[in-house]
Amino acid sequence: MASSINPLVIGVKDLVFQAGQMRELTLEVDAPEQYGEAMAIAPAGTPMTLELRLEGLHEGILVTAEVSLEAKAECVRCLDPFSFPVRVDFQELFAYSSSDSDSYTVVDDSLNLEDIIRDAVVLELPFQPVCQEDCYGLDPATGDKRTEPPGDSDADEIDPRWQELSKLLESDTEKP
């Protein structure tokens, strides 16, 4: 019973003040806005699957949910774009009445899940995404993507800007 205006507003008239009653539903909706701002995002319009369990309690409606979607990212090592699945679970109580400004409430016999889903998905997105755990990044000399780990020769090469300083080390080793 999703609202026709916003699919993330769920009607719960059948559960309000009905302790012990439960309803499960699956929703296929598009993300109403972009989730995330940095290297990993879920663009607006990304298809999401919501598995919801709504339970009537004496103090409100308990929502247990699993959200699944496909996010996009840019690897922080090699800068290649890639997609990856995101799956996040949450449980939240929507109270019938609340004096706390940070708690969720049942409004007009419905629950607005939009803020909770956004917060849960954004917190699940990686801060520094990598396309694969063994990504070796870019070669600093050529800018090409590395296919194998950097070797010892990379560490031995001295940046030409620091070449003069290496002469100081040589003179220290020559003194008795």
**Tens digit of each residue's pLDDT (9 = 90 or more) over 7-36:** 888 888 887 887 888 889 999 999 999 998
pTM attached to this predicted model = 0.73
Token pair of 30, please?
Answer: 């598009």
Kindly state whether residue 21 falls inside one of the protein's structural domains. yes
What b/e string do you get for 54-72 counting C-beta neighbours within 10 Å, with b at 16 or more? bbbbeebbbbebebebebb
Kindly state whether residue 30 falls inside one of the protein's structural domains. yes
- Computed over every residue of the chain, the mean pLDDT equals 84
pLDDT at residue 1 in the model: 44
Kindly state whether residue 3 falls inside one of the protein's structural domains. no
Burial class (CB in 10 A: 0-12, 13-18, 19+), 111: buried
Token pair of 122, please?
Answer: 């954004």
CA distance readout (Å), 173 to 45, 65, 131, 147: 64, 66, 44, 37
Task: Write the pLDDT tens digit of every residue in 129-141.
Answer: 999 888 888 888 7
Nearest to 117 by CA among 22, 54, 48: 48
Kindly state whether residue 64 falls inside one of the protein's structural domains. yes
| More confident of the two residues 65 and 142 | 65
User: 75: domain range?
Assistant: 9-124
Kindly state whether residue 105 falls inside one of the protein's structural domains. yes
**Number of folded domains in the chain?**
1
Task: Write the pLDDT tens digit of every residue in 105-128.
Answer: 888 888 899 999 999 999 999 999
